[in-house]
Amino acid sequence: MDKTLPAVGIDVSKLTLDVRVDSQGQPRRLAQRLTNGPQGFAQLQSWFHAQGLPRVHACLEATGTYSDAIAGFLFEQGHQVSVVNPARVAAFRTSEGIRTKTDRHDALVLARFCAQKRPALWSPTPPEVQQLQVLLGRHEAVQVTSRQERNRLENHRLDPLTRQEIQEHIDWLQRQSEHLLQRADDLLLDQGSLRQGCGHLDSIPGIARLTAMRLYSVFFDQQRFDRAAKLVAHTGLCSAREDSGTSVHHKASISKKGNALVRKWLYMSALSVKRCNPDFRQWAAELKARGKSGMCIVVAIMRKLLHLVHGVLKAGEDYDARKAFPAHYGHPTPPVEEAA
C-alpha cells in the first residue's frame, strides 16, 4: 500500500457517483458528480488526470452490486481501492462531529476516512468464486422461502385448495434447491481451484459438501485472511470484554460483530462434530472437566473449526487429525486459546 497517494472518497448510488478529493487542509475543494456507468467512469479518469492525480487511493462503502463496476474500473486503471464496511464510516462520521448527511458530505467523510485510516486494499473476486457466491446466495434465499411456506402449512384455517397451492410451491422450491446445488457441483467440476479448495474443507469432520462450498466462498482470499485470527474476527467469534474502573465488570462473551450466517453454519457443524468425531468428543470432555459450560464448549469447537479451515486452505492439504489434536496422538500440545 502506498500511503502517499491522494485520498478520494466516492459515494455510490444507483445512478450517480459523488467524488471528493481530500484537501489535506488546503482551501481548494475538488469535487465531482458523475453518472454511475461506463461514461461516468471514463469522465472520472479524465478528471483525475486533469487535476494532476495519475494515481489515487479511492475509498467506497460496500453498497452491494452498485459499487462493483466502479471499484473494478479503478482497480484496472491502477488505482488503490478500498471497499469498507458502512458501519466503520458511520462511526467515523460521529467521531468527526459531522451532522449533515448528503451525498456530497458522504464523499467528504469517505475521503477523510481514507486519508486518516488508510483502510485495507480491495481486489476483485475471481469470476468462478463470484459465480459460486451467486449460486449459494440464491440457494439460501430459496431455502428461506421454503421454510416460510412450510410454516404457513401450520395454519389450520387454510382451505384445501390454498393448502395444495402452498404444497406445490414447496415442491417447486425443493426442485429449484436441488438444481442450484447441481449447478454448484458442475461449477466445481469445471474449476480446479474451487474443487481443490472445497475438497480440503470437505475433509474436515463436521463440514459437509454444502458447508465446505459456503465457507470457501467467504474465506477464499488467502491474502485477506492470512491468519486464523482474522477468520475468527470476521465471524464475530472473537472474545469481547467490558471491564472499566470499579463498576463495569461484564462477563466476557463473543463479540457477534461479524458474519452471522457463517456462525450459523459453524454452529450446526459444531453440534455434529461434537457428537460424532472421537477427537472433538474427547476435547469437549476435557473442556467440560475444566469447568466450561456447554455453550462455551460449542463456541470453542466453532473457533477450532475456523482454525482448521485456515490451516487446510493455507497448507493446501486435507485434514490431518494428528496436526489438529497433537496431544491425542502423542505429540506436544501447543497453547490453546480458550473461547470466552
Which domains, and CATH codes, for the chain? 7-117 (3.30.420.40), 127-219 (no CATH), 228-329 (no CATH)
Say what the pLDDT of residue 334 is.
53
CA–CA separation, 61 and 242 (whole Å) = 29
Say what the pLDDT of residue 338 is.
47
Say what the pLDDT of residue 3 is.
85
Say what the pLDDT of residue 223 is.
84
Mean pLDDT by 10 residues, the chain (340 residues): 89 93 70 92 93 93 88 95 93 90 91 93 93 96 96 94 96 97 95 92 93 94 89 89 74 84 93 92 93 92 94 93 87 50
152 in Cβ contact with 167 (< 8 Å):
no
CA–CA separation, 217 and 128 (whole Å) = 10
Nearest to 89 by CA among 108, 75, 72: 108
Amino acid at 175: R
Say what the pLDDT of residue 339 is.
44
- Listing DSSP states for 89-149 in one string gives HHHHHHHHT-----HHHHHHHHHHHHHHH-PPPP-PPPHHHHHHHHHHHHHHHHHHHHHHH
Pairing of strands 7-12, 57-61: parallel
Say what the pLDDT of residue 69 is.
92
Name the burial class of residue 64, with classes exposed (0-12), middle (13-18) and buried (19+) by CB atoms within 10 angstroms of its CB: exposed
114 φ, ψ to 5°? Answer: -65, -40
Dihedral class, residue 291 (left if φ above 0, else alpha if ψ from -120 to 50, else beta): left
* CA distances from residue 291 to 251, 286, 294, 328 in whole angstroms, order as listed: 16, 9, 10, 20
- Collapsed DSSP state (helix, strand, coil) of residue 288: helix
